[in-house]
């Protein structure tokens, strides 16, 4: 038993750094536990399953060769949606779910195209969230310009599993090399090709013209495109163009192009993709397989999603009497059962103290009456000790008594007490296959709770004193089926300590994508307040319209009939009591219709555990139908065990903790440690004054190749849906969303009041440079005094004619006088202009520049991204007629047009 427990704890600890609970493991060179999930909206199609199998099988052999015989795909599960017909070969799920899948197959939103991509927003070497393939990509043979599906899968797997980045750059397709030649942004430079401007194509013919140099940048004009030669001999790189037969490797230290202005160089300090891969957890101990044979082909399991099964396991021990915990638990549990859990789910309830009691066997949640059959049994009295294992075992019994499988079912465990015997049922929990979500209420809840969540793939939450923390936690525990339009969305979660006889007023925007099943809930601590609610058209709801619960748990609820009106709702609350009391307002809703996905927000910390002084990053993703939502206010609230709150504004500016600007992922460093223990995360996203917009562009995706060169002729690939610059963004209505990011645990932190500075300014990652006459102009986003917060004390700027001088010997490079440069507040745009007096500026002069920041404690940031500024006056070019007129144009993919091309 001890050995088994040690294994469980080992596995649980190894799940902690992950941002999602992937089931993938690597053993004896083979990957097991890969989950590919099909979205419920995808029509049933046997060909889709067959093509997924073929893609993974091809990818496994390609991956094996690319990793020099180190890894392959061994066991893969394909998760079939509940909307498809059942078949005898479909197995029951264990802990597989759509929202935890490694690969999802789903339609794009707004027809933005079929680009395969990976949702990736960690730092270099950190795992991504998931790979997204569209059904069209997997079914159509007209999209092979990305490369074969198996090769594309390996490209995306490298993003997902090893945290490497693309080696192309669509925004900077060319750069000036250290040899003063214009090169295509690529890795390796052994990939050969040419450059041309592809103009509008019509009726099987295209107009092309030679690329001209831009007199300001020295590079080619904006629409100049690199076209690779069809016949290549280069073996690298998979992160640039895996579509060519010769490309079978990742760029190594010997072949890596350190000068290319791509995301791999920016994020990984110019390290090669193979170097990053080899230092990953997967490769630290794995050795190449011996022999010459290929590995066995992958084994596929077809798993059919099942009806959701949830059992609440609630603590009613004596400690729940303190601080109104029993009341608050009942308030939150009622909201969950009435407003949050999806219709059609099976729900039951267990309460426990020193022993457990089954309060309700599983009931199908069809309407509010079904929910009330469970809420009527919420505990009224708290007493006795705490036996968490008794509660869990009773929860398992509730599930089996209804002929349901424990495997894949969910337990929501809430407790405030310690329990020395909790580890005694770890083995049973692991073998059950259940998913356990844990809610720690107060600072004394058992420290082993998180182990239960970590080893079963469940969520973990911590709630302090006010009811909102509990409601936020319950609201986050939604179905993992992929049916976003069925899930509850939290619009408001506010706790207000109101003085006697005082009104407070608030507003909640309801946008046109939501409004179904909308609830306004008010709770109080002493006396019911007077309530006034007004919809956007002026209709008023009074206190008498809010139904007070029969359980006497100090809450009143109003369900808006039909679809809630779009616009701003206004609520007013009057504290009728003679003294202060805490009032809370919670608003939940669902999607207006199943065809239009609502804006959703998900959030988490970069790790589930932190050991001081390791900084953590707060992430919040705001999206609508997979597309990023830009231009909104996103605020994170982090609360400690003693109730202290820290508020952080999250940024999507491509600086500091944020990797890519305008990708809908809002990030910020968290350094406000205040002792050890549990911390909770809550995020509020708001779109105001019509500033929000939907981006139609994606990052970390397979590269579309418009064509190639074959024997001097241009052969064009079929066009893909183009997103024009003026169509790249769509307007989004004003909205409000609340979500819990769960909890995380801190150790080794100093007590409150210890303000010792241990964090330097963050690394500057968006430095840009250009010549203006004989001066060099720089711009970057200001770092902070402590990572990305506050204001740095000063900057160090150094230059060199050689890239390696700055990369390997920064302190001895030429220093720039920055005495006139006063740092701005973190997040501000800095601009600085200087002239190198000792350097003769002439045509072809090239400088590399990097920067560091220093804070008040004289801690110095990492060296920034290294940029290049080139003084280049291109000679006047002779006028060359446009090539490929309509009368002698090329025919797509059949006839090419011979042109003179510059070969890289």
| Per-residue pLDDT at 205 | 56
Whether 195 has a pLDDT exceeding 80, the answer reads: yes
pLDDT band at 833 (very low <50, low <70, confident <90, very high): very high
| Per-residue pLDDT at 200 | 67
User: What tokens appear for 295 in the block?
Assistant: 């590995």
User: What tokens appear for 628 in the block?
Assistant: 């990023």
Determine the average pLDDT of the residues in 210-215.
86
The better pLDDT of the pair 126, 214 is held by: 126
How open is the CA angle 666-668-784, to the nearest 5 degrees?
130
Whether 305 has a pLDDT exceeding 80, the answer reads: yes
Q: Is 156 a catalytic residue?
A: yes
| Per-residue pLDDT at 698 | 66
Residues forming beta bridges with residue 415, ordered by sequence position: 440
Determine the average pLDDT of the residues in 236-246.
94
Backbone dihedral angles phi then psi of residue 357, each to the nearest 5 degrees: -130, 130
- Report the share of the chain in percent with pLDDT over 70: 91
Query: pLDDT per residue over 315-338, tens digit each?
Result: 999 999 998 899 999 999 999 999
Cα-to-chain-centroid distance, residue 96: 19
The better pLDDT of the pair 310, 201 is held by: 310
- Report the share of the chain in percent with pLDDT over 90: 71
Query: pLDDT per residue over 597-611, tens digit each?
Result: 999 999 999 999 999
Instruction: Please name which of 515, 481, 518, 731 lies closest in space to residue 624, comparing C-alpha atoms.
Output: 731
Determine the average pLDDT of the residues in 765-784.
93
Instruction: Yes or no: say if 72 and 64 are a contact pair by the CB < 8 Å rule.
Output: yes
Whether 215 has a pLDDT exceeding 90, the answer reads: no
| Per-residue pLDDT at 141 | 85
pLDDT band at 553 (very low <50, low <70, confident <90, very high): confident
Number of C-beta neighbours around residue 722 at 10 A = 8
C-alpha span between 650 and 667 (Å, rounded) = 5
Q: What is the DSSP string of 334-384?
A: HHIIIIISPTT-EEEEEEESSSEEEEEEEEE--SHHHHHHHHTTS-S---S
Buried b (16+ CB within 10 A) or exposed e, 512-550: ebbbbbbbbbbbbbeebbebbbebeeeeebebeebeebe
| Per-residue pLDDT at 133 | 96
pLDDT band at 587 (very low <50, low <70, confident <90, very high): very high
| Per-residue pLDDT at 634 | 98
Torsion sign, CA atoms 437, 440, 441, 445: positive
Whether 785 has a pLDDT exceeding 60, the answer reads: yes
| Per-residue pLDDT at 576 | 92
Determine the average pLDDT of the residues in 68-83.
97
Question: H/E element holding 456?
Answer: helix 449-456
| Per-residue pLDDT at 893 | 29
Torsion sign, CA atoms 597, 601, 606, 609: negative
Whether 593 has a pLDDT exceeding 80, the answer reads: yes
Which of 76-85, 211-220, 410-419, 676-685 is least confident?
A: 211-220
Which of 268-272, 755-759, 816-820 is least confident?
A: 755-759
Residues forming beta bridges with residue 36, ordered by sequence position: 78, 103
Q: How many residues does the chain have?
A: 904
Backbone dihedral angles phi then psi of residue 429, each to the nearest 5 degrees: -60, -45
Whether 78 has a pLDDT exceeding 90, the answer reads: yes
Instruction: Please name which of 582, 583, 567, 532 lies closest in space to residue 736, comparing C-alpha atoms.
Output: 567
Q: What is the DSSP string of 772-833?
A: ETTEEEEEEE---SBBTBSB-SEEEEEEESSHHHHHH-GGGSEEP--TT-PPPBTTPEEEEE
Determine the average pLDDT of the residues in 430-437.
94
Whether 730 has a pLDDT exceeding 80, the answer reads: no
Instruction: Yes or no: say if 471 and 550 are a contact pair by the CB < 8 Å rule.
Output: no
pLDDT band at 424 (very low <50, low <70, confident <90, very high): very high
pLDDT band at 723 (very low <50, low <70, confident <90, very high): low
| Per-residue pLDDT at 552 | 72
Could you give the maximum distance between any two Cα atoms of the chain, in Å? Answer: 92
Supply the mean pLDDT for the chain: 89
Torsion sign, CA atoms 805, 810, 813, 817: positive
Determine the average pLDDT of the residues in 297-302.
98
Whether 83 has a pLDDT exceeding 90, the answer reads: yes
| Per-residue pLDDT at 889 | 28
Query: pLDDT per residue over 364-409, tens digit each?
Result: 999 999 999 999 999 999 999 999 999 999 999 999 999 999 999 9
Determine the average pLDDT of the residues in 475-484.
88
Query: pLDDT per residue over 91-108, tens digit each?
Result: 988 889 999 999 999 998
Whether 303 has a pLDDT exceeding 50, the answer reads: yes
| Per-residue pLDDT at 755 | 65
753: phi > 0 → left, psi -120 to 50 → alpha, else beta; which?
Answer: left
Selecting among 58, 126, 156, 249, the annotated active-site residue is 156
User: What tokens appear for 39 in the block?
Assistant: 């979205």
Query: pLDDT per residue over 840-881, tens digit each?
Result: 777 778 889 999 999 999 999 999 999 988 886 655 443 333
User: What tokens appear for 674 in the block?
Assistant: 């205040």
| Per-residue pLDDT at 206 | 63
Q: What is the DSSP string of 570-592?
A: EEEEE--SSS-EEEEEEEEEEES
Query: pLDDT per residue over 139-184, tens digit each?
Result: 998 777 788 999 999 999 999 999 999 999 988 999 988 888 899 9
Instruction: Yes or no: say if 584 and 484 are a contact pair by the CB < 8 Å rule.
Output: no
User: What tokens appear for 470 in the block?
Assistant: 């509990």
Number of C-beta neighbours around residue 869 at 10 A = 22
Whether 736 has a pLDDT exceeding 90, the answer reads: yes
| Per-residue pLDDT at 549 | 76
Whether 214 has a pLDDT exceeding 50, the answer reads: yes
C-alpha span between 430 and 437 (Å, rounded) = 14
| Per-residue pLDDT at 721 | 61
| Per-residue pLDDT at 704 | 84
Whether 725 has a pLDDT exceeding 50, the answer reads: no
Which of 540-554, 564-578, 618-632 is least confident?
A: 540-554
């Amino acid at each position: 038993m001890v050995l088994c427990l040690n294994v469980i704890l080992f596995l649980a600890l190894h799940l902690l750094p992950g941002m999602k609970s992937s089931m993938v493991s690597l053993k004896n060179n083979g990957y097991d536990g890969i989950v590919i999930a099909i979205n419920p909206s995808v029509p049933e199609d046997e060909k889709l399953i067959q093509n997924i199998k073929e893609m993974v099988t091809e990818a496994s052999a390609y991956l094996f060769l690319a990793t020099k015989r180190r890894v392959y795909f061994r066991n893969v599960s394909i998760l079939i949606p509940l909307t498809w017909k059942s078949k005898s070969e479909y197995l029951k799920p264990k802990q597989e779910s759509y929202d935890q899948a490694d690969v999802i197959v789903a339609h794009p939103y707004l027809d933005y195209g079929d680009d395969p991509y990976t949702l990736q927003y960690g730092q270099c070497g950190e795992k991504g969230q998931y790979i997204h393939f569209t059904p069209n990509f997997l079914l159509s043979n007209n999209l092979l310009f990305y490369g074969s599906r198996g090769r594309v899968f390996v490209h995306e797997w490298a993003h997902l599993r090893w945290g490497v980045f693309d080696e192309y750059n669509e925004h900077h397709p060319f750069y000036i090399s250290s040899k003063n030649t214009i090169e295509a942004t690529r890795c390796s430079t052994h990939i050969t090709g040419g450059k041309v401007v592809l103009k509008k194509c019509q009726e099987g013919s295209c107009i092309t013209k030679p690329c001209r140099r831009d007199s300001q940048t020295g590079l080619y004009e904006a629409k100049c495109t690199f076209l690779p030669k069809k016949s290549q001999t280069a073996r690298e790189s998979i992160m640039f163009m895996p579509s060519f037969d010769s490309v079978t490797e990742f760029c190594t230290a010997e072949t890596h192009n350190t000068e290319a202005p791509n995301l791999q160089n920016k994020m990984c300090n110019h390290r090669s993709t193979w170097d990053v891969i080899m230092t990953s957890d997967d490769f630290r101990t794995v050795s190449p397989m011996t022999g010459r044979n290929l590995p066995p082909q992958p084994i596929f399991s077809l798993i059919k999603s099942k009806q959701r099964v949830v059992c609440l396991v609630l603590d009613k021990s004596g400690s729940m009497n303190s601080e109104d915990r029993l009341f608050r638990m009942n308030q939150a549990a009622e909201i969950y059962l009435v407003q949050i859990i999806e219709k059609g789910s099976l729900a039951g309830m267990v309460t426990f103290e020193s022993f457990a009691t089954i309060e309700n066997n599983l009931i199908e949640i069809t309407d509010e009456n079904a929910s009330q059959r469970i809420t009527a049994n919420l505990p009224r009295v708290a007493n006795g000790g705490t036996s968490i294992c008794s509660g869990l075992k009773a929860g398992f019994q509730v599930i089996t008594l209804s002929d349901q499988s424990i495997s894949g079912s969910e337990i929501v465990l809430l407790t405030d007490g310690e329990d020395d015997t909790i580890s005694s049922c770890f083995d049973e929990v692991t073998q059950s296959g259940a998913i356990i979500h844990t809610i720690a209420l107060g600072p004394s809840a058992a420290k082993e709770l998180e182990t239960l969540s970590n080893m079963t793939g469940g969520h973990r939450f911590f709630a302090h004193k006010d009811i909102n923390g509990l409601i936020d936690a319950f609201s986050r525990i939604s179905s993992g089926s992929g049916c976003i339009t069925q899930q509850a969305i939290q619009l408001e979660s506010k706790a207000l300590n109101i003085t006697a006889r005082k009104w407070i007023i608030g507003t909640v925007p309801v946008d046109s994508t939501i409004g179904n099943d909308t609830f306004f809930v008010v709770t109080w601590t002493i006396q019911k307040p007077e309530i006034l609610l007004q919809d956007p058209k002026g209709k008023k709801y009074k206190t008498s319209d809010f139904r007070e619960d029969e359980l006497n748990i100090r809450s009143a609820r109003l369900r808006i009939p039909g679809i809630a009106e779009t616009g701003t709702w206004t609520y007013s609350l009057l504290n009728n009591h003679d003294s202060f009391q805490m009032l809370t307002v919670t608003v939940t809703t669902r999607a207006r219709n199943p065809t239009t996905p609502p804006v959703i927000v998900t959030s988490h910390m970069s790790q589930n555990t932190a050991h001081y002084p390791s900084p953590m990053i707060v992430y919040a993703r705001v999206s609508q139908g997979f597309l990023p939502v830009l231009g909104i206010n996103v605020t994170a609230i982090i609360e400690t065990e003693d109730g202290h709150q820290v508020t952080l504004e999250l940024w999507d500016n491509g600086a500091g903790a944020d990797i890519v600007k305008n990708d809908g992922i809002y990030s910020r460093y968290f350094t406000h440690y205040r002792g050890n223990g549990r911390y909770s995360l809550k995020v509020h996203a708001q779109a105001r004054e019509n500033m929000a917009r939907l981006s139609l562009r994606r990052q970390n995706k397979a590269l579309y190749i418009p064509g190639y060169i074959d024997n001097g002729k241009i052969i064009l690939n079929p066009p893909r849906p183009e997103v024009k610059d003026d169509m790249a963004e769509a307007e989004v209505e004003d909205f409000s969303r609340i979500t819990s990011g769960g909890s995380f645990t801190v150790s080794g932190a100093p007590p409150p009041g210890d303000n010792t500075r241990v964090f330097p300014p963050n690394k500057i990652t968006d430095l840009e440079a250009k010549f203006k006459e004989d001066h060099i102009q720089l711009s970057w986003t200001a770092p902070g005094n402590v990572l990305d917060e506050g204001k740095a004390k000063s900057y160090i700027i150094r230059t060199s004619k050689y890239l390696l001088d700055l990369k390997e010997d920064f302190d001895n490079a030429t220093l720039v006088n920055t005495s006139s440069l006063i740092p701005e507040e973190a997040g501000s745009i800095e601009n600085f202009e200087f002239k190198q007096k000792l350097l003769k500026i002439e045509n072809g002069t090239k400088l590399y520049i990097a920067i560091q920041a220093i804070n008040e404690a004289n801690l110095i940031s990492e060296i920034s991204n290294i940029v290049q500024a080139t003084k280049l006056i291109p000679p006047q070019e002779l006028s060359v007629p446009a090539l490929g007129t309509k009368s002698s144009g090329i025919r797509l993919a059949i006839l090419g047009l011979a042109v003179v091309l510059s070969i890289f």
